[in-house]
Structure 1
Amino acid sequence: MSAVREEMRPLGVIGELYARFPGEGFVEQATADGIPTMWVPVGRLLRVMKLLKHEIRQPYRMLYDLTAVDERLRQHRDGLPPADFTVVYHLMSFERNSDVRIKVALRGESPHCPSVTGLWLNANWYEREVWDLFGIWFDGHPNLQRIMMPRTWQGHPLRKDHYARATEAERLTMDAARVDREQEALRIKPEEWGMTAAGEDHDYMILNLGPNHPSVHGVFRVMLQLDGEEIVQAVPDIGYHHRGAEKMGERQSWHSYIPYTDRIDYLGGVMNNLPYLMAIERMAGIQVPERAQTIRVMLCEFFRITSHLLFYGTFAQDVGSMSPVFYMFVDRQKAYDVIEAITGFRMHPAWFRIGGVAADLPRGWEKRVREFLDWMPKRLKDYEQMALKNTILKRRSIGIGQYSTDEAIEWGVTGPGLRATGYAWDYRKARPYSGYEHFEFEIPTGKNGDAYDRCLVRVEEIRQSLRIIEQCLKHMPSGDYKARHPLTTPPIKDHTMQDIETLIHHFLNVSWGPVIPPGECTMTVEATKGLNSYYLTSDGGTMSYRTRIRTPSFAHLQMIPYLARGLMLPDLIAIIASIDFVMADVDR
C-alpha cells in the first residue's frame, strides 16, 4: 500500500495526471484491486475532476461512487498523505473500460471539501450521504442536509468515535418536550423541498406518496408538487430502511459479516456475497477453484431469474395487469426449490464462503436444475402473450420515463437501466469475473430507454441466465468446492478430521476470524439491478476497517425528479416500477 516513487510513474491515467499537474504534490497509491489511485490536494480537486470528465481523451464520464473514510484510528498508512478523513471518488470510463480512484486528504474535526455537483448531477445524494454519516462539509452543495438519518440525529454514525450499538448509547427517554420536537421534525414543509403550494395564478397540490404505499415498493416517500395530475416536482425521500450495514461491517469478523450482505439487495441472495468475498480473496491472495467459481455463477444466475421474475410480475401489476404476478410467483418458487435443494435455504442462503462455497453440490442437483431449465422457457412464451404484448402494459410504459445513454451515464445508471438505452455494456462481458469469460450469452438491449424497454431487457436477461445455467449443468468442473488456503473460513471439512493444522485454522478463523493483510480493494459484479461493489479496507486485523457498499438502486432513485417532471401521476408509478429497486439496496 506504499506510495509509488515519482521516477516510477506508469503510463495511463496516472501518467496523464502527473503530466498535467507537475510538482503539485500528487501521491499515487498501490491497491490490491489494481485500480489507478491518486491522492490530490483539496485545492486541486475540481480542476482534476474537470480534466478527467471533459478534457482528456476517453474521459471518465461516470461518477460511479463517492464515499469517505475516517482515518484517525488506522495504523497501516505507510507512504500516504496525513489525513483525519479521506473523501474517495470512484470514476468510470466506458471508452477505456477502466476506472480511476481519486482521494482527498482532509484534516480537522469539521473538514471541508468542494462539491462536485457542478460536474456530476448524481453527486448530490452521494455528498449528502457523506455529510450525514461523516460530517464532511461540501462547499457549494445546493442542499446539504441529512439523507439517511433523522433530522434530529446527533453525530455522524460512520465516524470511529460514534457508537455502533444501542447498548453503547445513553438510555433513550422520550419526555413530552422530546416527543414534540420529534413530531415537529416530521412535519411537511413544502418550501424545504423546493416546492410551493401557491403559484402566481393558481394553487398547487402537495401530495405525500409513501413511505407506506404499495406502489413505492418499500418504505420510500416521494413528495409531489402537482398541477392537477401533472407533476411539477417529484422529490424522493429515502433513509427509512437505513440500518447501518456499513457500520456493522466494522464490528463483524470477515467471515461472520457474510449473512449481512444477503440483506442488502434482499432479492439478490448469494449474488450479494460475491463482490464482498472477491474483495477479501483479492487482498488475501486466495485463488478460488474452478468448480467453486462455476457453482457461484450458477447460483447467481438463479437469483437473477428470481429477482427478474418478481420485477416482471409487479411491473405488470403496477401498470394495470393483475394476473401475471400470480403466475410468476409460482415459477419463482420453483427456482427457489432448486436453490433450497443446493444451499439449504431460499431467499437468504449466505452460502458463499471465503475461498469458495459452503459445501459441494448435493447428489441429484443435476435433475433439479434440468427440470427447471425444461420448464421455464415455455412459461416465458406464455408471459409474452400475457404481459409484454398486453395493450394496457404497452400504453402505460412505452415512451414513459425515457432517457438516453449519455443521460444514464451522467446519473450513474448501470445494469438493465443502462442497456435499455441501446448500450450493450455488461460487466460480466466487459470485465469478466468468477469465470464468466468461459460462458456464451448475449447482452440484451433496448432502443428507447423507456419503462417498456427496461422490462424487455430484463425478460431477455432471464433467457440468457437460463443459457448460462445450462452451460454450468453441462460443464461443471470437478475438484474442490473451496480453496485450500489457510485463510478460507471454514476450511474443507474433511481436512479438519485429518490434520491438526487445518483444525487449528478452523478454530481460529471461525472464532476470531482470519487476519487479512492491510490493503484496499473494490470488487464489482453485475447484480440483479445494476453494478454492485464492495470497497473494503483492511488494517491487518480480523475485521474490516471500512466497508463501503456501492449499490445500483441508490443511484437509480436519484433520477426520479428528472424522469417524472411534466408527466402524470400514474406515469410516476410506471417509472418507479420500471426502475426495479428494493429499499434495503438503497438505504443499507
Structure 2
Amino acid sequence: MKLTRDFPRNDTMAQWQTADHQDTQVVGELFAHFGTERFTVQSTRTGVPVLWLSRELLQDVIGFLRKIPSPFVMLYDLSATDERMRSHRDGLPQSDFTVFYHLLSIDRNADVMLKVPLKESDLTLPTITNQFPNANWYEREVWDLMGITFDGHPHLTRIMMPKSWQGHPLRKDYPARATEFDPFMLDAVKQDLEQDNLRFKPEEWGMSRGNEHEDYMFLNLGPNHPSAHGAFRLVLQLDGEEIRDCVPDIGYHHRGAEKMGERQSWHSYIPYTDRVEYLGGVMNNLPYVLAVEKLAGITVPNRVDMIRVMMAELFRIQSHLLFLGTYIQDVGAM
C-alpha cells in the first residue's frame, strides 16, 4: 500500500483553537440558574467548557448538573494542580492549588469541567462522594499526592503511597530526584516504626474485626498471586468461607509518572509513556502525543496517521497474544 495516498479526512471537525464555549447549552443553563457573576469562564483548547467557581457553590452546581434534563451523570475525572509557580493568570482567579471536576453527559455526548481555586493556607473542600461514589478514590488520591482535605469523606487515607510516607509528592516543592533527599538511614527506631506500619489493622482499611459472635479472618490475596496478574493486593474479610468484604490495595502501580514529567520537556517525556503497560507501545504514547498536538495546534500528515494506526494494531495483537497465553495457563492447559 502506498502510504503517500490521500486518505479522506473529516474537515467538519473544529480546529483546536482557544475558545470560551460560553455559547454551549450547559454554560447557559448554569448562568441562568446561578447567575453569570458566580462563575469565571476559562478559554481553552480542549474543546470542553471550563468554569471556575467557589467551593461554597460546588455541591449545589454538581447537584444541579446531575438533575437537569439530559443530566451529567458521570464523574469522568477529579484531580488537582499545584499552581503556586504559575507566572500568569490571564484573568483567572488567584489560586495556589486548583481542584478540577470533569463531568460527562451520556445523553448530550458533552463534557464540562469545574475548577475550584484554593489558597495554600486553607486546602479544604467538601467531599462529593454523596453525589458520585467513585469520587472516593479520586479524593483519596488528591489528598495523598497533594495534601488537599475533603471534609466528610468516609475514609480519607493514603491510596498510592505507603502509610509511613512523609509529605505529598506531587507538590511542586517536593523533590523530584532521589539525590535531592537526605541520605536514607534505617536506625532501630525507624525500623520499629516501619514494622509497626506494616502491621495489619482492619480499622485502617474500613473493616471491622468481627461481629457480636465471633472474629473475622483476614486474608491477603497478592500482591503476587497466580490469579492476580501484576502487582495487585486484595485484603479479604472472611466469615468462615464467606467473603464479607474486599478492599483493593492499588499503590503498587504508582510509578510517579507525573513527577518524572516535572524534569522533562514535552518531547523527552514520550518514552516514559511506554511504562503504562509494557506491551502497549505506541498505544500508550498516542494519548499523550495527541494531547500535545491538540494543545499546540499541530496537524500531522495523513501518512503519519496511517503509520500510527498500523503500529497500534501490531501492539494490540501482541497484547492479545499475551492475554490468551495467561488465560490458557490459568485454566490449567499448561
Q: Structure 1 CA distance, aligned partners of 2:133 and 2:49?
A: 24
SS of the residue 2:38 aligns to:
coil
Q: Which stretches of structure 1, 4 residues or longer, exceed 4 Å deviation after superposition?
A: 1-4
| CA deviation after TM superposition for structure 1 residue 24, in Å | 4.4
- Which residue of structure 2 lines up, in the alignment, with residue 252 of structure 1? 264
Contact 2:233–2:249, Cα closer than 8 Å, also in 1: yes
The one of 70, 73, 81 aligned to 1:69: 81
- Which residue of structure 1 lines up, in the alignment, with residue 213 of structure 2? 201
Q: Any residues of structure 2 matched to 1:400-479 within 5 Å, and which?
A: none
| CA deviation after TM superposition for structure 1 residue 152, in Å | 1.4
Q: Any residues of structure 2 matched to 1:81-120 within 5 Å, and which?
A: 81-120=93-132
SS of the residue 1:266 aligns to:
coil
Where do 5+ consecutive residues of structure 1 fail to align? 324-588
The one of 32, 57, 65 aligned to 1:52: 65
Q: Structure 2 CA distance, aligned partners of 1:291 and 1:14?
A: 38
- Which residue of structure 2 lines up, in the alignment, with residue 80 of structure 1? 92
SS of the residue 2:164 aligns to:
coil
Q: Which amino acid aligns with 2:309?
A: V
Larger helix share, 1 or 2: 1
Contact 2:19–2:47, Cα closer than 8 Å, also in 1: no
Q: Structure 1 CA distance, aligned partners of 2:152 and 2:208?
A: 23
Q: Structure 2 CA distance, aligned partners of 1:75 and 1:3?
A: 21
Q: Structure 1 CA distance, aligned partners of 2:314 and 2:18?
A: 41
| CA deviation after TM superposition for structure 1 residue 107, in Å | 0.8
Q: Structure 2 CA distance, aligned partners of 1:265 and 1:96?
A: 32
Contact 1:3–1:80, Cα closer than 8 Å, also in 2: no
RMSD: 1.8
Q: Any residues of structure 2 matched to 1:216-231 within 5 Å, and which?
A: 216-231=228-243
Q: Structure 1 CA distance, aligned partners of 2:69 and 2:289?
A: 34
- Which residue of structure 2 lines up, in the alignment, with residue 38 of structure 1? 51
Q: Which amino acid aligns with 1:39?
A: W
Q: How many residues align?
A: 318
- Which residue of structure 1 lines up, in the alignment, with residue 30 of structure 2? 17
- Which residue of structure 1 lines up, in the alignment, with residue 278 of structure 2? 266
Q: Structure 2 CA distance, aligned partners of 1:122 and 1:9?
A: 29
Sequence identity (%):
61
- Which residue of structure 2 lines up, in the alignment, with residue 428 of structure 1? none
SS of the residue 2:309 aligns to:
helix
- Which residue of structure 2 lines up, in the alignment, with residue 311 of structure 1? 323
Q: Structure 1 CA distance, aligned partners of 2:274 and 2:96?
A: 32
| CA deviation after TM superposition for structure 1 residue 295, in Å | 1.1
Contact 1:110–1:137, Cα closer than 8 Å, also in 2: no
Contact 2:53–2:115, Cα closer than 8 Å, also in 1: yes
Contact 1:85–1:107, Cα closer than 8 Å, also in 2: yes
- Which residue of structure 2 lines up, in the alignment, with residue 153 of structure 1? 165
Q: Give TM-score, length-normalised by structure 2.
A: 0.90
Contact 1:39–1:103, Cα closer than 8 Å, also in 2: yes
Q: Structure 1 CA distance, aligned partners of 2:124 and 2:223?
A: 33
Contact 2:84–2:95, Cα closer than 8 Å, also in 1: yes
1:131 aligns with 2:152: no
Q: Give a deviation string over 1:523-565, Cα, whole Å, max 9, x none.
A: xxxxxxxxxxxxxxxxxxxxxxxxxxxxxxxxxxxxxxxxxxx
| CA deviation after TM superposition for structure 1 residue 316, in Å | 4.4
- Which residue of structure 2 lines up, in the alignment, with residue 482 of structure 1? none
Q: Structure 2 CA distance, aligned partners of 1:208 and 1:281?
A: 44
Q: Which amino acid aligns with 1:18?
A: F
Contact 1:2–1:78, Cα closer than 8 Å, also in 2: no
Q: Structure 2 CA distance, aligned partners of 1:39 and 1:201?
A: 52
Compare 173-182 and 303-312 and name the one that shifted more: 303-312
Q: Which amino acid aligns with 1:46?
A: Q
Q: Structure 1 CA distance, aligned partners of 2:197 and 2:41?
A: 45
Q: Give a deviation string over 1:395-452, Cα, whole Å, max 9, x none.
A: xxxxxxxxxxxxxxxxxxxxxxxxxxxxxxxxxxxxxxxxxxxxxxxxxxxxxxxxxx
The one of 182, 189, 192 aligned to 1:180: 192
| CA deviation after TM superposition for structure 1 residue 196, in Å | 3.1
Q: Structure 1 CA distance, aligned partners of 2:80 and 2:144?
A: 11
Q: Structure 1 CA distance, aligned partners of 2:296 and 2:203?
A: 51
| CA deviation after TM superposition for structure 1 residue 168, in Å | 0.7
Q: Give a deviation string over 1:94-148, Cα, whole Å, max 9, x none.
A: 2111211111011124400111111111111110000011100001111111111
Contact 1:271–1:300, Cα closer than 8 Å, also in 2: yes
CA distance 1:95–1:169, change in 2 (3 Å): same
| CA deviation after TM superposition for structure 1 residue 3, in Å | 9.1
SS of the residue 1:215 aligns to:
coil
Q: Give TM-score, length-normalised by structure 1.
A: 0.52
Q: Structure 1 CA distance, aligned partners of 2:64 and 2:321?
A: 42
